[in-house]
A and B are shown apart, each in its own frame.
Chain A
Amino acid sequence: MKPQAAVMFGCLMLVGAGLYFAPDSAAARLRGAVLDTIRPGQQGIRVAAESMLERWTLPNGLASKTPASEVERLSKALADEKQKNRILQIRLAELNDQLLLQQQGSSAIKRFPPLLKPSLIETAVLGDAIAEQWRGGKLIDFGAKNGIREHELVLSSKSSNRALIDIGEDSRIVPEDALLLGRAVIGKVEHVGRWTSTFLLVTDPRYRGRAQLIRETDAGFVFESQGLLKGQGGPLCRLDGIPAEKSVHIHDAVYTADRDGSRPVPLYYGEVVEASLGIDDREWTVLVKPIEVPTPLTKVSILRMTVNPDRLETE
């Protein structure tokens, strides 16, 4: 290399090292500038792709469907199919369990209706403005003296800016009840007030829930090892407690693990997106991607346990 080029090469290597140790704020600014620069190119490609798609779909009579609406339709269809697939996964895993039990010769002789029955309550998530008014006592303000006052834990959650749902003790929900979106768990009830309650999303750092893996094998879907799902404050959750001797695969489904006689069907959390095991590790490091929560979140369901009236009648 010529001396001039060698000097420049050395300078550039130093710049590279400097960039590596650059403060995050400077790096973010640089990243933003580069992203802004390439944005026109990206938009150009998007426009070109859309116009090409429109041109190609015209002869087939699909001109009325814009690519965006088509993508939306297909996304919905895919989500529905995934939902059906999940239900089938659970059903298959249950059937496998039953088959195993039957093979072991343990069959129920007489069956009573279950004492506890799961039930779903649909509830609305209060928007920030209404939640603020509620916490501030602007909507009902008869005061604690008259007994018409929201629970202190709900009111004190103002500083943490937690979202509120519009049911509470009046609907007999309790803390730790699962918060569902469709058939997937997106969080749990944290504090139950008199009429409203706060909830934690699975991505919240304080969220903890027992979870287990379900994997598709040649013999069908099988329940795998259990662990503790923890929120991390980011888009991914962490599944702890999977021993090193067990196997974990990417795309394994993660379901709730608190199955028992009264609640035999597990609920979907998400899927494994990263799993690693160091040489000296005793447990897997598993990252789970929960289902995407729509923004704004307006309607959710609460899964609660109620006493079965049929069982009470048999007494």
Chain B
Amino acid sequence: MIARHVAIAAAVYGAVVVQTNPILNSVLRPMNPWLPGIVLATCLLRCDRLTCLTWSAILGLAIDCLTTERLGIDFTIAVLITGIGLVCFRDDRPEGFLPKGLAVFCVTLIWQICRSLVHGLGRHPSLDVGELVLASGGVALVTTLLASIPLQIHQILRYANRSRTPASALSLNNRWTMLTR
């Protein structure tokens, strides 16, 4: 339990630092990914409800503090997305590559649209919604592609480990194993 909290804390810290670091930003700017979206989606898929809400609030607050706008905007958006996610994944958390990617995409897309709307409406009374959705979709897509890299590596490693299992290690009295071999 503590290890999980430490891992999420590290992920939140890492995402915030990387997202705001000018050196890494200059590298990532052409792609413009939204790393907090990955962290929030991961929380939604792997943590229990209260942990998820707590860390989404901390993540939102951290991002709020790094902007010059009023506090509470990203905080509320992050908690709101988590609430929606918890309702959607009420019974079971999705497994597999595609649902996880979809979760990252949706979380990032909603977050980007909401924050662009809130920040944008504060500055200009009129906004081009189509352009906004397109830009947010682009960011969400890039973020999903970025998130897919560790997922793919994880899948490959798992497959490699399974295929490397020596034949002698298999239990002979395991009926299922015998049948499938």
Contact = CB atoms under 8 A, between A and B. Distances in A.
A242 to B, nearest CB: 17
Contacts of A12: 53, 57, 75, 79
B20 A38 contact: yes
Contacts of B83: 1, 9
A283 B140 CA distance: 36
Interface string B29-59: 0000000000000000000011001100100
B123 A20 contact: no
A222 B42 CA distance: 52
Interface stretch (B11-19, B97-105, B153-161, B162-170): B11-19
B175 interface: no
B76 A8 contact: no
Contact of A13 (B16, B21, B62, B76): B76
Q: Which of A1, A17, A19, A30 has the most CB of B within 10 A?
A: A19
Contact of B62 (A19, A21, A34): A34
B13 A41 contact: yes
Contacts of A19: 61, 64, 71-72, 75
Nearest to B66: A34
Interface residues of A, number: 32
Given A1-B87, A45-B21, A18 B72 contact: yes
B65 A34 contact: yes
A45 B19 CA distance: 12
A41 B125 contact: no
A30 B65 contact: yes
Interface in A255-296: 276, 278-279
Nearest to A274: B123
Contacts of A60: none
Contacts of A279: 125-126
A165 to B, nearest CB: 34
A27 interface: yes
B142 interface: no
Contact of B71 (A5, A20, A46, A278): A20
Nearest to B52: A5
Classify chain B's interface size: 35 or more
Contacts of B13: 37-38, 41
B161 to A, nearest CB: 30
A35 B76 CA distance: 20
A4 interface: yes
A19 B67 CA distance: 14
B73 interface: yes
A82 interface: no
Q: Which of A2, A4, A42 has the most CB of B within 10 A?
A: A42
A31 interface: yes
B181 interface: no
Interface string A40-59: 01100110010000000000
A2 B75 contact: no
Q: Which of B20, B23, B82, B124 has the most CB of A within 10 A?
A: B23
A128 B173 CA distance: 90
Given A17-B76, A19-B75, A45-B24, A8 B17 contact: no
Interface string B71-115: 111011001101100110010000000000000000000000000
Contact of B124 (A22, A30, A46, A276): A276
Contact of B50 (A8, A15, A22): A8
Given A278-B125, A279-B126, A20 B53 contact: no
A30 B63 CA distance: 12
A2 B53 CA distance: 12
A219 to B, nearest CB: 29
10 contacts: A1-B49, A1-B87, A4-B49, A5-B49, A13-B80, A19-B61, A19-B75, A21-B72, A41-B17, A278-B126
Given A16-B72, A35-B66, 16 more contacts: A1-B49, A2-B49, A12-B75, A13-B80, A16-B76, A19-B61, A20-B70, A22-B72, A34-B65, A35-B65, A38-B20, A41-B14, A42-B17, A46-B23, A49-B23, A278-B124
Q: Which 4 A-B pairs have the closest CB atoms?
A: A19-B72, A16-B76, A20-B72, A41-B17
